[in-house]
Amino acid sequence: MTELIDPTFYIKMYEQMLTIRSFEEKAIELFEHNLIRGNIHPCIGQEAVSVGVCLALRREDYMLNTHRGHGNCIAKGADLKRMMAELLGRSTGYCKGKGGSMHIADFEGGNLGANGIVGGGLPIAVGAGISIQNRGTDQVVACFFGDGAVNQGTFHESMNLAAIWKLPVIFICENNQYALSTPIQEAISIPKISDRALAYGIPGVTIDGNDVTEVYIQMRKAVERARSGKGPTLLDCVTYRFYGHFTGDPGRGITYRSKEEMEEWLRRCPIKRLREYLFREGLLSEEKEEEIQSHVKKSIEEAVRFAQESPFPNPEEATQDLFY
Amino acid sequence: MNLRELTNTEAMVEALKEEMTRDPSIFIIGEDLVAHGGIFGQFIGLPEAFPGRVIDTPISETCIVGAGLGAALTGMRPFVDLHFADFTTCAMDEIVNQVAKIRYMFGGQAKIPLVIWAPDGAGLSAAAHHSQSLEAWFIHTPGLKVVSPCFPYDVKGLIKTSIRSDDPIIFFMHKKIFSRKGPVPEEEYVIPLGKAEIKHPGTDVTIITYSIMVLHALEVAEEMEKEGIRVEVLDLRTLWPMDWERIAESVTKTHRVIIAHEACLTCGFGAEISARIQEELFDELDAPIFRVGAYRVPIPFSPPLERFVIPGKESLKKTIYNMFGKEIDSK
Amino acid sequence: MKGDGFMEKDSKTWLELYRLMVKIRRFETLTGELFASGKIPGFIHLSIGQEASSVGVCSVLRKDDYITTTHRGHGHVIAKGGDVKKMFAELMGRETGYCRGKGGSMHIADFSIGILGANGVVAGGFPIIVGAGLSIKLRGTDQVAVCFFGDGASNRGPFHEALNMASIWKLPIVFVCENNQFASTTSVHYSTSVKSIALRGEAYGIPGRSLDGNNVLEVREAAIEAVERARKGEGPTLLENRTYRLRGHFEGDPQRYRTKEEVEKFSEKDPIRQFQAFLKNQKILNEKSDQEIWNEIDQELQEAIRFAEESPFPQPQDALKDLYVEEGESLIQRRLV
């Protein structure tokens, strides 16, 4: 992992995390101005997981995503313009306006889609793993899901199948500690989600999901294991979402989370942590930071402009794309 | 009768409160009920009023429905909340193979006083996994009863009846009607299952409909009045058992029928009603039966696409014009 | 087979366990014969070889305790106190059967003695048992609910959801896996990613024990502990009874997935033969008393078969009954022709 001694690698991580954060902040703003319809599930606070995981992937590797999936899309290399256009329901969006925030897919970039069904991605990841195995490539599948998904039947069936067939799948739990309003401690009766790996005879690791380097290192190990045909790994990345479950969640989830808890996690912000590290190690200067920030700002603004200038789809297009 | 205005949600909560007070074997089970008051806040107040009887679950739909079933088989009256009608698919084995069949398969030994409640319907840009209307699947499944009212009065009366029923009920409520208000009596009442109601009397054409489409049909009925077409709106309220008697009565009066639902047209409930009418009341018909429903595509996200796919007031109007040979432009 | 070291040394109980096992064996054998002679329609899944599991667990239960069982469920029903007359009648599709001919072999239930039904869907019992456990807890009784399932079911989603829910709510449930080595035709070594299904308890914080499922006393001892734990409100237990089904998955199964030699090898571990030898060794049973037991049971079963054969088939139009508590023509739509 020589990249870990390369300063530009850390700058890349930082820039990606900032991009995700800015994208989400902008999306919330657009939602509040009624330019985005439906609902969005912001991943602010969880950027380190998206970036740490996806930096260990190649473009041709696959990813399965969740309803809270903008960050993972961006980290996997999606085009911000087409993402924003999809959020605004435009014909230039990734799904031509059919999917929206919860259903962004980018098959060219290996992103097999975000899912509105909790636990919906896991069986698909197994299928992608079987396909890789049969085609004999060395791709891997990164399957994201939240802590809420670990009690769905699909979790169990998928983990077992991936284990018996030694599929190249990395199961990544974005453990933000709440399934909508239900705290993970009330939803499972074991201390760590990673202990579930015991039931399938595969490695399971619980990691600080707000430490992007740690996430990256563990993901790299899991990817190497998967690429070499040794089978799946379960990564439990403990993190926290700063916003509510969705944009309509009162007080960013104050009905089920204490103010103290939310403040405590704000202090553990993954971006702040990386920034402090970069300054401490002399890898980032204020000048460079400004440059990154303005670059990020520009790319988000461009995305918004592109989306707003794009036309809505023709109503009749609603009947297209159902069958091949 | 003392009437007050309640929203559909308030009517439901009031029904649940009254029933839970009356019968200690009733409990509510589902995700995000206690701290959050339900995904739409629709159960707010109940967890405090009935501590221990509103139960939060992990996200495990199969087991949520199954837990309702097992408890129903052993002396309780569970009310299951499934967040979205779309999530019935995650518990399909439980609903179709177990809940619907257990009484029959075991020769009538069991009773299943279970309500599975789920918000359905489109129109909120909630996209393909949170917008479906799936009632036809469950009407098609022997052993289930299906309810889908749209006025607070009906919601309250039918929630109470469903809870008291010893048979399993799938109770759908369109998510766009939650905050819609309507008069509800303060006095105790229930509405029997399987009773449709004329919501607007007319003599020229009957719109047989339910759920949110009743609201569209009522608007259209008002507008058509001005054009000299008197539309009768028949709100089924309960889909199964179907109130054939009321349907036949109305068809015999108007001789023209439109059946409207938000679910997709193909194999929708309209097909069943239409087939039955032509089998039994063919001679009463002065025109072919028309159906109004959604295109057979998943519900798309973008507002213009979604509006195009699901039927509304305009689709009903066009159908009426079509039926009466009027130029659409004349509207 | 060892009996020493078990806490319970009660010859009367032991003989009762033995009788029940013999009763199941004979019930299943006769069922196989009736099926072969065309007297039972449909499909039959026999539990021959797995009697120690049914009896070891159910002998610990009270009449008001609940069980859910599987497609291979005759043994559980008998061990829980089911009426063999009504069972045979159901198998033959008669009016006097448990389900009035609507269920058949795969769907026997007896709600009066806590049998919440056999299930044709693998893992179908899990969610139901969670509901039964929850209901016990809400009603505040000290009943216990037992969920029987096979090794095949342990790889299905409902297993996972149910064990988790039972654990977080400390429900009075005993999950009993009858690991008979095959999910239909698929070996457990292929289908399951862990060596022992009992190990899966760790994923839910549930104690798991892997047992010699052909040793009725070992199963019973573990069941006593698990049931006590459940009754005291300490939560669920996962028991894995390692056993072997000596017959095919269903009657008529060509069994291409295993060798005759393998089946013969496991026949030597036949739970009834083992227990029989043990009881004789303990001087609790001799040749004569053993024969008497088999004869008595045969007599009872022959009577039950006669009862079933003499019972009428249900009226065809009874097919339209029993769907809803509240019945009516509007609920069961007529067929046109």
d(CA A68, CA A111): 14
Question: Which pLDDT does position B330 carry in this prediction?
Answer: 44
Average pLDDT, whole number, for chain C? 94
Cβ of C134 within 8 Å of Cβ of B67? The answer is yes
Cα angle C203, C208, C213; round to 5:
140
Burial of C264: CB neighbours in 10 Å, binned 0-12, 13-18, 19+: exposed
Question: Which pLDDT does position C9 carry in this prediction?
Answer: 75
- Quote the distance between the C-alpha of residue A66 and its chain's center: 7
Q: How would residue B248 be classed by pLDDT, with cut points 50, 70 and 90?
A: very high
**What is the b/e burial string over B15-40, where b = at least 16 CB atoms within 10 angstroms of the residue's CB?**
bbeebbeeeebbbbbbbbbbbbbbbb
pLDDT of residue C327 exceeding 80: no
d(CA C61, CA C80): 8
H helix or E strand, kind and range, residue A143 = strand A141-146
**Residue B250: both structure tokens together:** 């109305």
- Picking from C102, C111, C326, the nearest residue to B104 by CB comes out as C102
Q: What is the dihedral of CA A185, A187, A188, A191, to 10 degrees?
A: -10
Query: Closest Cα of chain A to C174: distance in Å?
Result: 17
- For residue C265, what are the CA distances in angstroms to A149, A164, C151, C260? 43, 27, 20, 9
- Picking from B58, B295, B306, the nearest residue to A319 by CB comes out as B295
A202 contact residues in C (CB cutoff 8 A): 193
pLDDT tens, C180-205? 999 999 999 999 999 999 999 999 99
Query: Nearest Cα to B120, choosing from B310, B296, B289?
Result: B310
* Helix ranges restricted to H, B150-285: 152-164, 212-226, 244-254, 269-281
Query: Nearest Cα to A185, choosing from A256, A273, A98?
Result: A256
Average pLDDT over residues B296-321: 95
H helix or E strand, kind and range, residue B182 = strand B181-185
Query: Nearest Cα to B203, choosing from B135, B255, B264?
Result: B255
Contact by Cβ (8 Å): B68, B114:
yes
Identify which has the larger pLDDT, B35 or B286: B286
Residue C268 CB neighbours (<10 A) = 8
pLDDT of residue B331 exceeding 50: no
Average pLDDT over residues C223-249: 97
Question: Which pLDDT does position A2 carry in this prediction?
Answer: 86
**Residue A310: both structure tokens together:** 């794009």
Average pLDDT over residues C97-118: 96
Q: How would residue C331 be classed by pLDDT, with cut points 50, 70 and 90?
A: confident
**Residue A251: both structure tokens together:** 């007080």
Q: Is B130 annotated in the active site?
A: yes
Beta bridge partners of A172: A144, A235
B27 contact residues in C (CB cutoff 8 A): 138
Beta bridge partners of B3: B185
- For residue C84, what are the CA distances in angstroms to C15, C24, C112? 20, 10, 15
Question: Which pLDDT does position B328 carry in this prediction?
Answer: 53
Size of interface A-C (CB pairs under 8 A): 73
- Picking from C156, C161, C203, the nearest residue to A196 by CB comes out as C203
Catalytic residue among B83, B130, B174, B261: B130
A touches which chains (3+ CB pairs under 8 A)?
B, C
Query: Nearest Cα to A48, choosing from A205, A222, A272, A246?
Result: A272
Average pLDDT over residues B309-314: 96
Cβ of A148 within 8 Å of Cβ of B58? The answer is yes
Q: Please say whether the dihedral angle defined by the alpha carbons of residues A274, A279, A283 and A287, taken in this order, is positive or negative.
A: positive
Q: Which residue in B26, B27, B50, B73 has the most chain C C-beta atoms within 10 A of its own C-beta, making it the best mutation to test that interface?
A: B73
Q: Which residue in C164, C167, C190 has the most chain A C-beta atoms within 10 A of its own C-beta, making it the best mutation to test that interface?
A: C164
> What letter would DSSP give residue C333?
P
d(CA C247, CA C72): 11
Q: Is C237 strand, coil or helix?
A: strand
pTM: 0.92
Average pLDDT over residues B92-111: 94
Burial of C19: CB neighbours in 10 Å, binned 0-12, 13-18, 19+: middle
In chain B, the residue whose alpha carbon lies closest to the alpha carbon of C108 is B106
Peptide bond into B241 cis (omega under 30): yes
H helix or E strand, kind and range, residue A142 = strand A141-146
B61 contact residues in A (CB cutoff 8 A): 152
> What letter would DSSP give residue B299?
P
pLDDT tens, C252-267? 999 999 999 999 999 9
pLDDT tens, B153-209? 999 999 999 999 999 999 999 999 999 999 999 999 999 999 999 999 999 999 999
* Helix ranges restricted to H, B108-151: 135-139
B touches which chains (3+ CB pairs under 8 A)?
A, C
User: Is A165 at the interface with chain C, CB within 8 A?
Assistant: no
Contact by Cβ (8 Å): B71, C132:
yes
Q: Is B298 strand, coil or helix?
A: coil
- Going by their DSSP bridges, the two strands C182-183 and B26-30 should be labelled as unpaired
Q: How would residue B127 be classed by pLDDT, with cut points 50, 70 and 90?
A: very high
pLDDT of residue B108 exceeding 50: yes
- Picking from A186, A187, A199, the nearest residue to C199 by CB comes out as A199
Q: How would residue C1 be classed by pLDDT, with cut points 50, 70 and 90?
A: low
Give the gyration radius of chain C's Cα atoms.
20
Contact by Cβ (8 Å): B233, B247:
no
Contact by Cβ (8 Å): B253, B202:
no
In the chain, the amino acid numbered A39 is: N
Question: Which pLDDT does position C7 carry in this prediction?
Answer: 54
Sheet of A62-65, strands arranged across: A111-114, A62-65, A141-146, A169-175, A233-238, A204-208
pLDDT tens, B251-262? 999 999 999 999
d(CA A251, CA A271): 22
Q: Is B145 strand, coil or helix?
A: strand
Query: Nearest Cα to A172, choosing from A114, A110, A236?
Result: A236
Cα angle B264, B270, B273; round to 5:
160
User: Is B164 at the interface with chain C, CB within 8 A?
Assistant: no
Residues in chain A where the model's pLDDT stays below 70: none
Query: Nearest Cα to C141, choosing from C114, C175, C177?
Result: C114
Contact by Cβ (8 Å): A210, A269:
yes
**Residue C43: both structure tokens together:** 């499909």
Q: Which of residues 97-136 of A touch C (CB under 8 A)?
A: none
B104 contact residues in C (CB cutoff 8 A): 102, 322-323
* Helix ranges restricted to H, chain B: 8-22, 46-49, 61-73, 92, 102-105, 135-139, 152-164, 212-226, 244-254, 269-281, 303-309, 313-323
Contact by Cβ (8 Å): C126, C161:
yes
Q: Per 3-state DSSP, what percentage of chain C is helix, strand, and coil (rounded to 5)?
A: 50, 10, 40
Residues of A engaging B, defined by a Cβ cutoff of 8 Å:
37-39, 86, 89-90, 93, 95, 97-103, 115-120, 148-149, 151-153, 179-182, 186-188, 255-256, 312-319, 322
**Residue C51: both structure tokens together:** 């009697």
Residue A183 CB neighbours (<10 A) = 15
- Going by their DSSP bridges, the two strands C66-69 and C145-150 should be labelled as parallel
d(CA B246, CA C249): 52
d(CA A115, CA A119): 8
Residue A130 CB neighbours (<10 A) = 17
Cβ of A148 within 8 Å of Cβ of B302? The answer is no
d(CA A247, CA A32): 9
In chain C, the residue whose alpha carbon lies closest to the alpha carbon of A202 is C193
Q: Is B54 strand, coil or helix?
A: strand
- For residue B283, what are the CA distances in angstroms to A77, A169, B193? 64, 63, 29
pLDDT tens, B201-240? 999 999 999 999 999 999 999 999 999 999 999 999 999 9
pLDDT of residue C156 exceeding 90: yes
Q: How would residue B40 be classed by pLDDT, with cut points 50, 70 and 90?
A: confident
Burial of B283: CB neighbours in 10 Å, binned 0-12, 13-18, 19+: exposed
Question: Which pLDDT does position B36 carry in this prediction?
Answer: 87
Query: Nearest Cα to C227, choosing from C106, C114, C108?
Result: C114
Query: Closest Cα of chain B to A252: distance in Å?
Result: 12
